[in-house]
Structure formats: structure tokens, C-alpha cells
């Protein structure tokens, strides 16, 4: 009578797969398949073969989003901060250097034993003379990377790669009030694009730069301008490599991003740092209140922060080439700015560019 009953569950219940596990496994497998397809497309591009555009359907995007990339990116960030034993540092970093073609001769500290963890290695600084800043052209590249697209913004749509666009308003969010920005008062009936243009005869231009894992991960001010406002969009952290950018429409609008807006001598100017898989950490040096890739967020939400206050009527002045921020691994920088009609880009799509080199000028 004192014996206790032992309750056992059927084997099928013990090994029952939950919907979440199935979704993650399926999504992860599909993401791996997409990575392989992207690799094949890049090989075709290198051989000069034009690849037709095939956009992802809604269910494919939803399946990709089911992969817990935000959670994985936070885990990756913590792993990067684990201090490596001195004897292990050179083999680990050497493998990374060989895999992604890192040029350590440009690093301020070439000794691999100096970097205590992967995070320090990713964010390594360069020798002062490694990236001379172009003084002739008015806009320079803010980072190392690959030019995905550039040109005029037309019909409130911006190209992320050739033939694949996203909405300008969805990307930047609602127009900031004229009290916070030095914008002219545009008629309410004008399009979002027209409202951003402050001077008659000017046009809106854009440039997209993709930072690969082997690139220098800091980014700098592309011109002399004043940053007045920051808008942070929490979101997904899907890959932003050229293959995925060609496959998912409005990819940059889905992903987490930090939009810095302000003005330069020709009017409106903005720089957006777009997050990606394993790049949940976006840091802006003068913005200590910014925290990216938080565990929870409301879908479609964003938060604003103004750098204009009673004590600072102008905002944050930035000089061309000045340190602005950094990624934890590599991602994408999007510039959207106003300039006169005779502004010309000195670029071609697909070219490699380094921080300090010219993007364009008048």
C-alpha cells in the first residue's frame, strides 16, 4: 500500500516534434539551400554571365524569417567575446584570414596574439596611412565593401540591386518634423521623395555598399554634414549578401537598421547602417543610448532620438572621414542624399571600394 505509482508516457509523446522545432529545422535547411544557390550565382557573375532576377514569394520570405536569426546573432556575439587562449588565437584567426581574404598588413596591430577574442579581431583598426581620404570629391565611401547599386531615386523607389527595389518611405520611415530638421516646408500633396528635397533643382541620390565578412568593419562619415536625428528600426536579421538582396524584395526594409539623418551643404543627407545575420550589433560612437538586437521588439515599430536640444541647436557635426560607427561582422551601408542635378558618381556596379575613395562629386 505504500508503493508509489510510476506514470510513464507513451514513446510517441516523448519524442513528439513540436511545431516550433519543425519550423526552425525547415527554415534552417532552406536558409542553407539559399546560401548554396547564392554561391552558385556569385560564380556565374564572376564569369560575366547575367543572372535573371527571381523574387522570393511571400511563403519563402516567411520561411526564411522563421529561422531565429536574432537569437543566433546574440549567441554569436557572446561567442565572439569569449577570450581565446593565447596558443589558440593564431590558428583561429589565420583560418578566418585565409577564408575571407583579410589583409592583415593594413591592420594597426598585425600580431594575431594581440586580439583576445573574435570581436576584437573583427573590429581591428587600420594603420593611419592605409586609407587616405580623398580631398577632391565631395562624397567618399564610408567603408570598405562592394558597390551593389547607385544612382538617382525615382518614383519613391530605391534599387537595392539591379532590378530589385524597395520603398523609400518604408526604408526611412515617416518624414521627421521640420522643427527637428532643417527641411523646407513642402506642400502636403507632394510625394515623400519630393518632401525630402529642400532646394529647387536638386535630385535625390542613393548608393548601396555591401561589407563582406573579410572587410574592415568600421564606417566613417562620407562627407561634411550634421546629424540631427536617429531612427532605429528593430527587425529581422536576414543575410544581406548580393544573392539574397537579388532574391528578397525590400530586404533592407525587413532587416534591423539605424537611420541617421541630417543635412549637408546641398540639403538632405542620410546614412543607414543595415543589420544582417550575425550582425545584430550596430554601434554609433556618439550615440550611447542606441541598443540593437534586443531580445524582444514590436513588429513594425521604430524609435526616434533627436540630437537637437536646448544645449545643442545644430546637432552632431561630422567631418569627412571621421569615425562614425562599426558593425560586429559585416553588413550594408545605404546613403540617400540630396544634390544638384550635375552630381556624378565615379562608380560602376559590382566594383570593390575602400573607405576614403571617391563616390562622386559635382
Catalytic-role residue among 220, 232, 254, 266: 220
Show the DSSP H helices in the chain as ranges.
11-14, 19-46, 58-65, 69-80, 86-100, 118-122, 168-172, 192-196, 242-247, 251-254
- Half-sphere exposure of residue 230, counting CA atoms within 13 Å on the CB side? 21
Residue 334 has a pLDDT of 95
C-alpha dist (Å) from residue 115 to 84, 120, 157: 9, 6, 43
pLDDT in tens, 100-147: 888 999 999 999 999 999 888 888 888 888 889 988 889 999 999 999
The confidence band for 10, taking pLDDT boundaries of 50, 70 and 90, is low
2 belongs to the catalytic site: no
304 belongs to the catalytic site: no
% of the chain exceeding 70 in pLDDT: 81
Q: Which DSSP category does 331 fall into?
A: -
Average of per-residue pLDDT across 311-333? 88
CB 279 within 8 A of CB 330: yes
Q: From CA 71, how far away is CA 27, in angstroms rounded?
A: 14
Q: From CA 290, how far away is CA 346, in angstroms rounded?
A: 33
pTM above 0.85, yes or no: no
Q: From CA 144, how far away is CA 214, in angstroms rounded?
A: 10
Residue 94 has a pLDDT of 93
Residues paired with 261 in a beta bridge: 229, 270
Residue 224 has a pLDDT of 96
pLDDT in tens, 195-251: 899 988 899 999 999 998 888 889 999 999 999 999 999 988 888 888 888 888 888
pLDDT in tens, 267-316: 999 999 998 887 668 999 999 899 888 877 777 789 999 998 877 778 99
Q: Could you identify the residue written with the cell 541598443?
A: 291
331 belongs to the catalytic site: yes
Catalytic-role residue among 38, 144, 263, 287: 144
Amino acid at each position: 500500500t505504500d508503493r508509489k505509482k510510476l506514470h510513464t508516457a507513451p514513446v510517441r509523446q516523448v519524442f513528439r516534434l513540436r511545431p516550433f522545432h519543425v519550423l526552425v529545422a525547415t527554415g534552417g535547411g532552406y536558409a542553407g539551400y539559399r546560401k548554396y544557390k547564392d554561391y552558385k550565382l556569385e560564380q556565374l557573375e564572376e564569369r560575366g554571365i547575367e543572372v535573371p532576377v527571381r523574387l522570393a514569394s511571400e511563403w519563402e520570405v516567411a520561411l526564411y524569417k522563421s529561422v531565429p536569426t536574432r537569437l543566433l546573432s546574440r549567441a554569436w556575439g557572446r561567442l565572439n567575446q569569449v577570450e581565446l587562449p593565447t596558443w589558440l588565437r593564431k590558428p583561429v584567426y589565420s583560418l578566418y584570414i585565409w577564408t575571407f581574404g583579410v589583409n592583415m598588413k593594413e591592420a594597426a596591430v598585425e600580431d594575431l596574439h594581440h586580439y583576445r577574442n573574435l570581436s576584437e579581431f573583427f573590429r581591428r583598426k587600420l594603420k593611419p596611412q592605409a586609407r587616405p581620404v580623398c580631398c577632391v570629391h565631395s562624397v567618399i565611401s564610408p567603408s570598405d565593401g562592394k558597390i551593389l547599386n547607385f544612382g538617382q531615386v525615382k518614383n519613391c523607389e530605391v534599387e537595392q540591386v539591379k532590378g530589385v527595389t524597395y520603398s523609400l518611405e518604408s526604408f526611412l520611415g515617416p518624414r521627421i518634423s521640420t522643427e527637428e530638421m532643417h527641411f523646407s516646408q513642402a506642400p502636403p500633396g507632394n510625394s515623400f521623395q519630393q518632401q525630402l528635397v529642400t532646394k529647387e533643382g536638386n535630385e535625390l541620390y542613393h548608393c548601396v555598399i555591401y561589407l563582406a565578412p573579410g572587410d574592415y568593419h568600421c564606417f566613417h562619415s562620407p562627407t561634411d554634414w550634421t546629424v540631427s536625428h536617429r531612427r532605429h528600426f528593430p527587425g529581422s536579421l536576414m543575410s544581406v549578401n548580393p544573392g539574397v538582396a537579388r532574391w528578397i524584395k525590400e530586404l533592407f526594409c525587413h532587416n534591423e537598421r539605424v537611420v541617421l539623418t541630417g543635412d549637408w551643404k546641398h540639403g538632405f543627407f542620410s546614412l543607414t547602417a543595415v543589420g544582417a545575420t550575425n550582425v545584430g550589433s550596430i554601434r554609433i560612437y556618439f550615440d550611447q543610448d542606441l541598443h540593437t538586437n534586443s531580445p524582444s521588439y514590436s513588429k513594425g515599430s521604430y524609435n526616434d532620438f533627436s540630437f537637437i536640444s536646448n544645449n545643442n541647436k545644430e546637432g552632431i557635426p561630422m567631418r569627412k572621414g571621421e569615425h562614425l560607427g562599426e558593425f560586429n561582422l559585416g553588413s550594408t551601408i545605404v546613403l540617400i542624399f540630396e544634390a544638384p542635378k550635375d552630381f556624378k558618381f565615379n562608380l560602376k556596379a559590382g566594383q570593390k571600394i575602400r573607405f576614403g575613395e571617391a563616390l562622386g562629386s559635382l
